[in-house]
Amino acid sequence: MVLSFVKPYTYAANGDSMRQITRDAIRAFRNATNFKRGNTQVIIYPDEDYRELRLHGNLIAYMENGGLHISNGGWSSVTTKERLNGLPNVSIYQRNFEWFLNGEAWGGSWIKV
């Protein structure tokens, strides 16, 4: 019996890893395409020029009239951080249990980026 393992993530040129589900969800979000896989969902409302990115049913990002808004949805998890980091103009990292968004301390509340 031969077992093969497929990694659920790929490596970017800079060595960072991002799971395939994140890449696919962000692609759908940016291209205004509905998407649902596992705990991640993208919902498009074309008549309202509005789209949502949800993780475990929690809204963590939305785009309305071209403006991108993000939140951690109340969860400072590695998965939330990864999904948000896939979005344009978003760079979140954690130091000493504190999240930083684009170099500034951020508590996870709604913000336009």
Per-residue pLDDT tens over the stretch 18-72: 899 999 999 999 999 999 999 999 999 988 999 999 999 999 999 999 899 999 9
The pair of structure tokens assigned to 22 is 């994140």
74 vs 17, 58, 59, 77, CA distance in Å?
Answer: 24, 8, 10, 9
The pair of structure tokens assigned to 93 is 């990292």
Q: Give the domain extent around 47.
A: 32-112
- Residue 54 forms part of a structural domain: yes
Is-above-0.75 flag for pTM? yes
- Residue 18 forms part of a structural domain: no
- Residue 74 forms part of a structural domain: yes
Q: How far apart are CA 99 and CA 93, in angstroms?
A: 6
Domain count, the chain: 1
- Residue 79 forms part of a structural domain: yes
